[in-house]
Structure formats: structure tokens, C-alpha cells
Amino acid sequence: MSSLPLDIIADVLSRLPPKKLLCFRCVCKPWCHLIDSSDFMKLHLHKSIKSNTNQSLILKHSHLYWVSLDSLDLASEIDHPLMCYNHSVKLLGSCNGLLCICNIVDDIAFWNPSTRKHRVLPCVSLELRRYSGPSVCSLCLYGFGYDKVNEDYKLVRIARFRGIETSFVECEVKVFSLRRNCWKRIKDMPYVCGYPGTNGVFACGALHWVVSRNCTSEEFNRNGSSEEFNVVVALDLAVEDYNEVALPEFGDRNFNLEVGALGDCLCVVANYSNVQSDVWVMKEYGVKDSWCKLFSVMREQMRGLGRSLRPLGYSKGGSEVLVEQDKVNLFCKRDSGKNQRIADHEKNVKKRDDFLSEGFKLVL
């Protein structure tokens, strides 16, 4: 192997899973330097995405669990680096093998479960003075992604303020840059985020949320909810500005809209209560005509309540889609139109009162 050119060695090593690469770092100093280099990390990520390999599912109960997306066998517990009372953490997002996690006292860290390396973020405050009257922060949402232009991982925090004496809703937005290791406030989001615990979906260089344009509705302030959450807004991480995503034509029926990512594409799910759920994929980002209905799942094909679906990822061959239903059940949607049930989450990770799963590519 010592006689082989370094680029050939890099090509061979880039096809290996991360755990084996950690072992090969000990072979010799040149290999260690090669595997630790940023160019090799990019090569390994590129090959993982292109070959649809090295993908995993992260399950959350009181602990975090790891499952191979290829085999979907028994989950293995993974230990996170944050201190907390019962070892429980929130998963704020995942990107390129990194997880963004948070404990009960709002310590936040970027963490690579493969290498066990992590970075704790500096604290971020709320800017409490809003307009001329008192207000309250009623909701905080996050989004985690990669700024390819500036080669920077970024975390976005959206804090929703509601006026106590006046009719307004305002969303303060701050962005953490790993490269600069600091937070900064950007332009407020001119929309309203309304679903607690719904973090931004990263796809095509931007974070996406389902929002409402209704920022001053008295009904929203009174009830804390709105029936107008039918807009998908994108925050471009490179320029840190907002754009609305053109959506497909859904028809006139009422539905709940959810946003997700499938492969390298943005996707949306229209959940029609007690009828069906339609999964749409945007083949060319930003082009409305490129929306394609990937599949529909009828209510009678679902288990339990059947309120919502969330696509998690393609199989290695691309003929199946792993789908999460009601945050409880997993099944594969096949090209043939048939569903193959995988498991209830409870069977893999004991009894659970919460679940969150994210597919991610493992890199160093």
C-alpha cells in the first residue's frame, strides 16, 4: 500500500464506514493526516451521498439510540456529551453526520457521534424589549444546517414574541456560526411559526418551516393558533435571507401541511384528516413546475390514528421510502404501492413518551 499514490489510497478509504476509518487512522501518520484532512471529509461525504450509504436513524427516548438505515435492526444506545439530570436531550437537527443537541438547561452542542467530538455553543440571550409595550416569548424553534458557500455550520434560533397589551406577533431570529463561534441577530422573520417542537428542515442550502403570513391577527394572539399555516418559508444560510417556496396545487380540501427532506430534495406532505396523506417532492429546487407527487397513503393503510406522515429517507436501491407515521410507527413505502411495516418504536427502545428521528450521513 505504501507504493500506491495518495489519491488512490484516499479513494479506497473514502468508501469505508466511519468506524473503520477511525481504526485506520492508527495505521501510520500519513493515513492519519489524510483521514483528518478537510478534503478527505468532503470526499467521504460526497461518496456517502452518491452511493446512498453510511446512513443512520437516530431514535430518542430518555436516551439516544442509533439504528442502521440499511438493516433497521435492534437499536444501540449512544452516550451524548452534555450533562443533564436524566440523560435526556432534545435533538435540534442533523447535517452531514453532525447532531445538534440541547439539554434541559439549554446547553447546546454540535456533536459527531462517530468521532465523539463536540463543541458547546456560547449562550444566547433573548432581547426582551419589543416595540413600546410588554410582550412574552411564547415559543423557541431551531434549525441546523450547512452553509456550503462559506463552508460553515449554522444554527438558527427563532424566538416568537406575542404582545400582551397590543395585537402583534414578532419572530426574532439569531444565527450561530461555527466558523466565527458567535451568535448574531439577523432580520426578523416576517412570518409566524406556530408549531412547538417543529425544527427547521435543511435542504438545498436552506432551512424550511411551515408558517403563517398572519402576524397581527387578534385571533392568533387570543388563541395562540391559526388555521393559516399554509406557507413554507426558506432561510438561505449563505445570504441569511428569507424566501417563500412555491408549493404544488393541492386542491380545495383542508389539510395539514408538513415540510421535510427526501434525498437531496425538499418535500412536503399534505395530510388530509381521516382520508389520506400525499407526499410531494421538488425535483428542481425553487421551480414550482418540478413538484411531483411521489406517493399517497390512504387512511386504511395506516395503523392507529393516521394523523401524519413524515418521509425519512430512501432505501439504498431507491425503490423504497422509509416513512414515520404519527411519530410512532415505521413502514416502507414500495414502488408496488404496498406498505411493509417495520416496527413500533417501542419495540426497539422500550417504552417511550417521545420520539424524534433524523437520517444523517456519518463523516469525520
Per-residue pLDDT of the chain (364 residues; tens, 9 = 90+): 567 888 888 888 888 888 788 888 888 888 888 888 888 888 888 887 777 677 777 777 667 888 777 666 677 788 888 887 766 788 899 998 899 999 888 899 999 888 888 999 999 888 765 555 677 787 899 999 999 999 999 999 999 887 777 667 888 999 999 999 999 999 999 888 877 778 899 999 999 999 988 765 444 544 444 457 789 999 999 999 999 999 998 877 788 889 999 888 999 999 887 788 899 999 999 999 999 999 888 877 776 665 677 888 887 777 788 887 776 667 677 655 555 544 444 444 433 222 233 333 333 2
Note the pLDDT of residue 342. 45
| Residue-level pLDDT at 338 | 53
Tell me the C-alpha distance between 128 and 191, whole Å.
Answer: 19
* Cα–Cα distance for residue pair 169/198, rounded to 1 Å: 18
pLDDT at 125: 84
pLDDT at 37: 86
User: Is the pTM higher than 0.85?
Assistant: no
- Could you write out the three-class secondary structure of the chain? CCCCCHHHHHHHHCCCCHHHHHHHCCCCHHHHHHHHCHHHHHHHHHHHHHHCCCEEEEEECCCEEEEECCCCCCCEEECCCCCCCCCCCEEEEEECCEEEEECCCCCEEEEECCCCEEEECCCCCCCCCCCCCCEEEEEEEEEEEEECCCCEEEEEEEEEEEECCCCCEEEEEEEEECCCCEEEEEEEECCEECCCCCCCEEECCEEEEEEECCCCCHHHHHHCCCCCCCEEEEEECCCCEEEECCCCCCCCCCCEEEEEEECCEEEEEEEECCCEEEEEEECCCCCHHHEEEEEEEEHHHCCCCCCCEEEEEECCCCCEEEEEECCCEEEEEECCCCEEEEEEHHHHHCCCCCCCCCEEECCC
Separation between Cα atoms, residue 131 and residue 134, nearest integer Å: 8
Q: State the Cα–Cα distance between residues 46 and 68, nearest whole angstrom.
A: 19
Report the amino acid identity of residue 67.
V
